[in-house]
């Protein structure tokens, strides 16, 4: 089920909120667990079993690690093997078979495995739990309902942020609810909903239009690169805002996932601001265990390449995602070797540098194949035998310019500063949010089903 | 701060809760008048539909279709998109020069090819000895789209394609006789009272003379064209004016109720009053010119309103709508002998022609 859908907003959520409100404190996690299973089963009824099996393994290995510590390394290896095994099978097996066939000339049939929604997110959560228990950073959760509620918690189940068990361990058993928290959650949720529906979806339309167009131009390629970069930011950060807002309503505090990444001045900074929960997961569970930056330079660069290879691959079982990850690894290494020193000298130039390379990166990210990525990037620089501008480009530029400008300004801290600095706007907030909710509903009623971009990651 | 928090929760909560209760317990219509379509029904609840995910997909459509105040919300979206966000169109619909219209873009080569191949097949099967004409009715975007910064077909290239692919047909250019005022503001179609010159030009181009005068009659009912519901914008209704004279009054019609079918005038689409709207084969006989020439028109709905104006020049006009009759069985219903044949289609249908068989 999508947050940005009528069934969620006007059927599921009101029922869950009412049920949650009347449930005694002791049973609130059970209510959340059952609600989350219904939420998950709504889109993937059969695959809910897989999630429950994963949770069971996580629970059992967590308990074994704590109560049979002599073999805790074994339990961790088994936990990682089983949990990653599920991820590899369901997400990557056809990719491996396809590439094996391509290399060997064999034609082993693909397994056509259905990718379970949110498997990358919940696998990483249960992995972090087992690793943290192994490291004794957290005690094993005795109550399986609490652990299952943590993994399946619907606000963050299908699109993150990747909430660490250690971050909400206390709130799982003892959390408070207040009007202030609920109000904050409601505002954050509506803000995210608006980002998703009023900006991301609209820019998504522009990207689809571009892809279907027979009248492309150099300018249209650039317009697409800008639109897609903003689209994916507003889509994903909007979903994270909704998750964080819903978490607040239910008394949880999830980590922030985005911090205005487009104001960065280097790829290093960009990745501190973009998909923070994923970046910090790889940092804490892969990069640092490999030695991080406390090793020789060559080893450190190797570590960076490994981490970003995995980061790219986490996003999807296709070569363009791998190349996308390695592309950032290369940028990070170059920055570490010499570029950061120069970038620090000019804010403007460093910002232009970052935006340029991020735009290119998202063209690679959204390509259906590497040949399409090369073709698009080539065309952005006039290599595709396309005109500089076309009638269609001008039309869509005029049609989307206001949304693009709103998105550009909205991707900076400027609106937040404006709201915080203007008393009048702050007073009007409840009405503004009500209007936003009504307009989002209007877009949903008028629109058709609109899948969330990060659904399959 | 506390009041702000309270207001935020109360306003948003009441909004969601009231609509939610309406969703669960309220009654919603089965048919959308504005969109002219049946709304989704509650999906089947079986183990199979639930386990396959079919139920959730269908419920998504159902809940969106049956949402309370659907038309109001659609309007809110249309106004937000067109005016708050200054987007040029909403679901392809736009407003220009007071007209509601829909983008007709880009040209679809598969569709135009399908149309020419079908026409050529008909020519080869049935029209060995007939004089064949072709005319293409430009949609109103020809006069309002590009001029106002909207995408539109290259009409010249579009008609050139048909001229090239149908060398057996004599092309009659009618766009010189048309302008934006000749179309309804809220609908795709042309206004009958504005196309008498088109009818005269067509008749003369096909070797007939047509000098006729008409009386204008105004339909009492407002005409909200097809774009009103689709756009969800509040706009002024059109008025249908229909023309009569002695010839038109004496016409005999087969396959439709009447030349001006007043039972359709109050229907969802009052334009259907012209020859009862969409019908597979309609014959219009003119007893005042019983010895005159006969004409077979392969047509879409635009022909319904111009046919009465052409009727004086012919003894019989047969209208064939290939969307509702398969071309392979035409000889059972249409007599092509001693008839001229006119292919008269709007750009809209030619660019979306797969419904013609």
User: Is 0.85 exceeded by the ipTM?
Assistant: yes
**Quick one: closest CA in B to A4, which residue?**
B60
Q: How many CB atoms lie within 10 A of CB A284?
A: 17
Q: Do B64 and A45 touch (CB under 8 A)?
A: no
* A315 included as an active-site residue: yes
Q: Which residues of B touch A202 (CB under 8 A)?
A: 85, 87
Q: How far is A403 from chain B (nearest CA, A)?
A: 6
Measured between alpha carbons, how far is A234 from A229 in angstroms, rounded to an integer?
9
Are the CB atoms for A226 and A199 separated by under 8 Å?
A: no
List of chain A residues whose C-beta atoms are within 8 Å of the C-beta of residue B64: 6, 444-445, 447-448
Using the Cβ of B63 and the Cβ atoms of chain A, whether some distance falls under 8 Å is answered with: yes
Q: What's residue A449's pLDDT?
A: 34
pLDDT attached to residue B217: 96
Touching check for A435 and chain B: CB below 8 Å? Answer: no
Measured between CB atoms, does A434 come within 8 Å of chain B?
A: yes
Residues B37-79 pLDDT 10s: 888 899 999 988 988 888 999 999 999 999 999 999 999 999 9
Residues in chain B predicted with pLDDT less than 50, given as ranges, are none
Q: Which residues of A touch B85 (CB under 8 A)?
A: 198, 202, 402-403, 406
In a domain, B67, yes or no: no
Partners of residue B1 in chain A, C-beta under 8 Å? 180
pLDDT at A448: 52
Per-residue pLDDT in tens (0 to 9) along chain A, 457 residues: 889 999 999 999 999 999 999 999 999 999 999 999 999 998 778 889 999 999 999 999 999 999 999 999 999 999 999 999 999 999 999 999 999 999 999 999 999 898 888 899 999 999 999 999 999 999 999 999 999 999 999 999 888 799 999 999 999 999 999 999 999 999 999 999 999 999 999 999 999 999 999 889 999 999 999 999 999 999 999 999 999 999 999 999 999 999 999 999 999 999 999 999 999 999 999 999 999 888 999 999 999 999 999 999 999 999 999 999 999 999 999 999 988 888 888 889 999 999 999 999 999 999 999 999 999 999 999 997 899 999 999 999 999 999 999 999 999 999 988 888 777 777 788 999 999 999 999 999 998 533 344 444 4
Contact A401 B2 (CB under 8 A): no
In a domain, B55, yes or no: no
Residue of chain A whose Cα is closest to the Cα of B16? A10
**Inter-chain CB proximity B8 and A430 less than 8 Å:** yes
Distance from CA of A113 to the nearest CA of B (A): 15
Q: Which of B24, B87, B107 to mutate to test the interface with A (most CBs of A within 10 A)?
A: B87
For residue B292, tell me if it sits in a domain: yes
Which member of B8, B13, B24 has the closest CB to residue A429?
Answer: B8
* pLDDT given for residue A423 in this prediction: 76
Q: Is residue B70 domain-resident?
A: no
Amino acid B268: pLDDT: 83
Interface of A with B in 35-74 (CB under 8 A): 42-46
Length of chain A counted residue by residue: 457
User: For chain B, how many structural domains are there in total?
Assistant: 1
Residues 6+ apart with CB under 8 A from A89: A113
For A306-320, write each residue's pLDDT tens digit.
999 999 999 999 999
Q: Å from B46 to nearest chain A CA?
A: 13
Task: Flag if B88 and A433 touch (Cβ within 8 Å).
Answer: no
Calculate how close chain A gets to B64, using CA atoms only, in Å. Answer: 5
Q: How far is B76 from chain A (nearest CA, A)?
A: 6
Mutate to test the interface with A, among B63, B105, B110 (most CBs of A within 10 A): B63
Angle formed at CA A370 by CA A364 and CA A375, multiple of 5 degrees: 80
Q: Which of residues 199-228 of B touch A (CB under 8 A)?
A: none
Position B345 in a domain: yes
Q: Does A4 touch chain B (CB under 8 A)?
A: no
Beta pairing partners, B316:
B285, B294
State pTM to two decimals.
0.90
Q: Name the catalytic one among A177, A231, A315, A351.
A: A315
Range of the domain at B216: 99-355
Q: What string of H, E and C letters represents the secondary structure of chain A?
A: CCCCCHHHHHHHHHHHHHHHHHCCHHHHHHHHHHHHHHHHHHHCCCCHHHHHHHHHHHHHHHHHHHHCHHHHHHHHHHHHHHHHHHHHHHHHHHHHHHHHHHHHCCCCCCCCCCCCCCHHHHHHHHHHHHHHHHCCCCCCCCCHHHHHHHHHCHHHHCCCCCCCHHHHHHHHHCCCCCHHHHHHHHHHHHHHHHHHHHHHHHHHHHHHHHHHCCCCCHHHHHHHHHHHHHHHHHHHHHHHHHHHHHHHHCCCCCCCCCCCHHHCCCHHHHHHHCCHHHHHHHHHHHHCCCCCCCCCHHHHHHHHHHHHHHHHHHHCCCHHHHHHHHHHHHHHHHHHHHHHHHHCCCHHHHHHHHHHHHHHHHHHHCCCCHHHHHHHHHHHCCCCCCCCCCHHHHHHHHHHHHHHHHHHHHCCCHHHHHHHHCHHHHHHHHHHHHHHHHHHHHHHHHCCCCCCHHHHC
- Which residues of chain B make contact with A180, given a CB cutoff of 8 A? 1-2, 5
* Within a domain: B154: yes
Interchain CB contact of B88 with A (< 8 Å): yes
Closest-CA distance of chain A to residue B268, Å = 21
The domain ranges of chain A are 6-175, 181-265+344-456
- Residue A390 CA to residue B67 CA, distance in Å, equals 40
């Amino acid at each position: 089920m999508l947050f940005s859908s009528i069934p969620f907003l006007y059927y599921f959520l009101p029922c869950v909120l009412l049920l949650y409100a009347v449930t005694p404190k002791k049973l609130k996690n059970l209510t959340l667990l059952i609600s989350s299973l219904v939420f998950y089963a709504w889109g993937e009824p059969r695959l809910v079993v897989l999630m429950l099996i994963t949770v069971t393994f996580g629970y059992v290995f967590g308990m074994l690690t704590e109560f049979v510590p002599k073999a805790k390394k074994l339990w961790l290896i088994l936990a990682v093997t089983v949990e990653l095994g599920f991820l590899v099978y369901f997400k990557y097996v056809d990719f491996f078979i396809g590439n094996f066939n391509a290399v060997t000339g064999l034609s082993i049939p693909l397994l056509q495995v259905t990718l379970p929604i949110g498997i990358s997110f919940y696998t990483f959560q249960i992995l972090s739990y087992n690793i943290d228990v192994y490291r004794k950073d957290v005690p094993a959760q005795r109550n399986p309902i609490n652990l299952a509620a943590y993994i399946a918690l619907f606000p963050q189940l299908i699109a993150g942020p990747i909430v660490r068990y250690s971050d909400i361990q206390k709130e799982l058993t003892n959390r408070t609810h207040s009007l202030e928290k609920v109000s904050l959650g409601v505002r954050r949720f509506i803000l995210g909903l608006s980002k998703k529906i009023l900006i991301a979806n609209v820019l998504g339309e522009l990207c689809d239009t571009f892809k279907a167009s027979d009248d492309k131009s150099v300018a249209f390629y650039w317009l697409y690169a800008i639109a897609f970069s903003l689209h994916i930011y507003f889509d994903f950060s909007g979903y994270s805002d909704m998750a964080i807002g819903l978490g607040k309503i239910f008394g949880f505090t999830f980590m922030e996932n985005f911090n205005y990444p487009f104001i960065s001045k280097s790829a290093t900074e960009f990745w501190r601001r973009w998909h923070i929960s994923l970046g910090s997961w790889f940092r804490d569970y892969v990069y640092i265990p490999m030695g991080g930056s406390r090793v020789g330079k060559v080893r450190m660069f190797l570590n960076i390449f490994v981490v970003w290879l995995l980061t790219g691959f986490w996003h999807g079982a296709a070569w363009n995602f791998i190349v996308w990850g390695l592309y950032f690894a290369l940028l990070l290494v170059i920055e570490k070797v010499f570029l950061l020193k120069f970038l620090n000298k000019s804010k403007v130039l460093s910002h232009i540098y970052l935006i340029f390379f991020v735009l290119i990166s998202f063209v690679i990210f959204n390509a259906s194949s590497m040949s399409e990525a090369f073709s698009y990037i080539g065309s952005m620089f006039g290599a595709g035998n396309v005109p500089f501008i076309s009638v269609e480009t001008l039309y869509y530029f005029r049609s989307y310019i206001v949304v693009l400008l709103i998105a550009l300004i909205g991707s900076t801290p400027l609106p937040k500063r404006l709201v915080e600095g203007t008393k009048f706007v702050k007073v009007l907030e409840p009405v503004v949010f009500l209007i936003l909710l009504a307009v989002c509903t209007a877009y949903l009623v008028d629109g058709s089903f609109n899948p969330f971009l990060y659904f399959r990651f | 701060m506390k009041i702000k928090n309270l207001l935020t929760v109360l306003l948003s909560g009441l909004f969601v809760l009231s609509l939610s209760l309406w969703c669960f317990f309220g009654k919603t219509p089965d048919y959308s008048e504005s969109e002219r379509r049946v709304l989704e029904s509650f999906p089947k609840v079986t183990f199979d539909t639930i386990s396959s995910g079919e139920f959730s997909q269908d419920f998504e459509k159902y809940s969106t279709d049956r949402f309370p105040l659907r038309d109001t919300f659609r309007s809110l979206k249309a106004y937000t998109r067109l005016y708050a966000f200054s987007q040029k169109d909403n679901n392809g619909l736009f407003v220009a020069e007071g007209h509601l219209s829909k983008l007709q873009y880009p040209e679809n080569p598969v569709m135009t090819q399908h149309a020419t191949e079908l026409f050529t097949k008909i020519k080869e099967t049935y029209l060995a000895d007939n004089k064949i004409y072709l005319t293409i009715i430009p949609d109103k975007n020809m006069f309002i789209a590009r001029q106002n910064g909207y995408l539109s077909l290259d009409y010249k290239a579009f008609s050139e394609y048909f001229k090239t692919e149908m060398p057996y047909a004599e092309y009659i250019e009618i766009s010189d006789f048309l302008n934006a005022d000749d179309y309804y503001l809220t609908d795709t179609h042309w206004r009958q009272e504005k196309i008498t010159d088109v009818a005269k030009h067509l008749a003369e181009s096909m070797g007939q003379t047509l000098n006729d005068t008409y009386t204008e009659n105004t339909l009492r009912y407002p005409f909200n064209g097809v774009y009103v519901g689709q756009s969800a914008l509040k706009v002024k209704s059109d008025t249908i004016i229909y023309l009569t004279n002695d010839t038109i009054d004496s016409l005999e019609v087969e396959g439709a109720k009447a030349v001006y079918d007043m039972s359709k005038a109050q229907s969802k689409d009052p334009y259907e009053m012209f020859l009862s709207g969409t019908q597979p084969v309609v014959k219009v006989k003119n007893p005042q010119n019983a010895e005159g020439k006969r004409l077979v028109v392969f047509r879409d709905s635009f022909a319904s309103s111009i046919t009465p104006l052409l009727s004086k020049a012919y003894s019989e006009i047969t209208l064939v709508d290939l969307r509702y009759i398969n071309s392979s069985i035409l000889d059972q219903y249409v007599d092509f002998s001693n008839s001229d044949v006119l292919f008269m289609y709007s750009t809209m249908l030619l660019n979306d022609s797969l419904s013609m068989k």
